[in-house]
């Protein structure tokens, strides 16, 4: 699958490469940023590069680095994974942003670009997102966007501290996408003027 850049006004999503390891390491190594990620937190740039290499090698994944449009700084990463074009579905994940970028328009615009790619370019029928049952911030954000809570997979994964997590699943369907697109556009516009 070809992976092209996705261009917005605040950010652009560029194909992820191991060359992004140095730029992504400070945010990925931040315990608060990485708190809810199911992968081990990278402790060195070498580990970061190895993690990115593993992600990129997966043929059912499209990985992006998130760059700020104004200065080109890499501020995070996001991916489509478990892409199944025959079944017309994928999941969104491996998303994180530098803590200095929390609360702005960057995450909203990256979702707008990624969801647009999924529904408008790939013509997917369904996107799914999952989050840790303790990650209430993520749950509120997904609900505010208009994604539908589908259910909980109990004791689904092991957290990095060894405890078991329940995974809450949310989804977005193609016919729901126009309303969510409008919500994202309004949120981005509001954050720009704030």
pLDDT of residue 2: 58
pLDDT at 194 over 90: no
Instruction: Assign 23 to helix, strand or coil.
Output: helix
Instruction: Assign 191 to helix, strand or coil.
Output: helix
* Token pair of 15 as six digits: 């194909």
Q: How confident is the model at residue 150 (pLDDT cuts 50, 70, 90)?
A: very high
Q: How confident is the model at residue 191 (pLDDT cuts 50, 70, 90)?
A: confident
> DSSP characters for 139-186?
HHHHHHHTPEEEEEEEEEEE-TTS-EEEEEEEEEEGGGHHHHHHHHHH
Distance set, CA 20 to CA 28, 73, 108, 156 (Å): 12, 10, 21, 30
The total of other beta-carbon atoms located within 10 Å of residue 57's CB is: 9
Tens digits of per-residue pLDDT, 133-146?
Answer: 999 999 998 998 88
d(CA 13, CA 82): 19
Tens digits of per-residue pLDDT, 57-104?
Answer: 999 999 999 999 999 999 999 999 999 999 999 999 999 999 999 888
Q: How confident is the model at residue 184 (pLDDT cuts 50, 70, 90)?
A: very high
- Determine the distance from the C-alpha atom of residue 40 to the mean position of all C-alpha atoms in its chain, rounded to a whole number: 17
Segment 148-175 shows an average pLDDT of 96
Q: Considering the entire predicted model, what is its pTM?
A: 0.94
């Amino acid at each position: 699958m070809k992976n092209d850049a996705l261009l917005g006004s605040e950010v652009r999503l560029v194909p992820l490469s191991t060359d992004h390891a140095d730029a992504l390491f400070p945010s990925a190594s931040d315990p608060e940023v990485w708190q809810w990620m199911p992968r081990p937190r990278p402790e060195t740039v070498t580990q970061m590069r190895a993690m990115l290499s593993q992600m990129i090698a997966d043929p059912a994944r499209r990985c992006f680095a998130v760059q700020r449009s104004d200065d080109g700084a890499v501020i995070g990463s996001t991916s489509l994974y478990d892409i199944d074009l025959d079944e017309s579905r994928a999941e969104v994940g491996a998303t994180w942003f530098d803590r200095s970028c929390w609360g702005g328009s960057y995450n909203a615009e990256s979702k707008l670009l990624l969801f647009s790619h999924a529904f408008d370019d790939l013509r997917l029928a369904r996107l799914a997102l999952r989050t840790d049952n303790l990650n209430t911030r993520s749950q509120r954000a997904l609900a505010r966007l208009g994604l539908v809570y589908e259910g909980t997979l109990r004791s689904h994964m092991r957290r990095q501290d060894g405890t078991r997590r329940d995974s809450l699943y949310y989804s977005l369907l193609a016919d729901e996408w126009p309303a969510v697109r409008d919500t994202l556009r309004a949120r981005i516009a509001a954050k720009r003027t704030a």
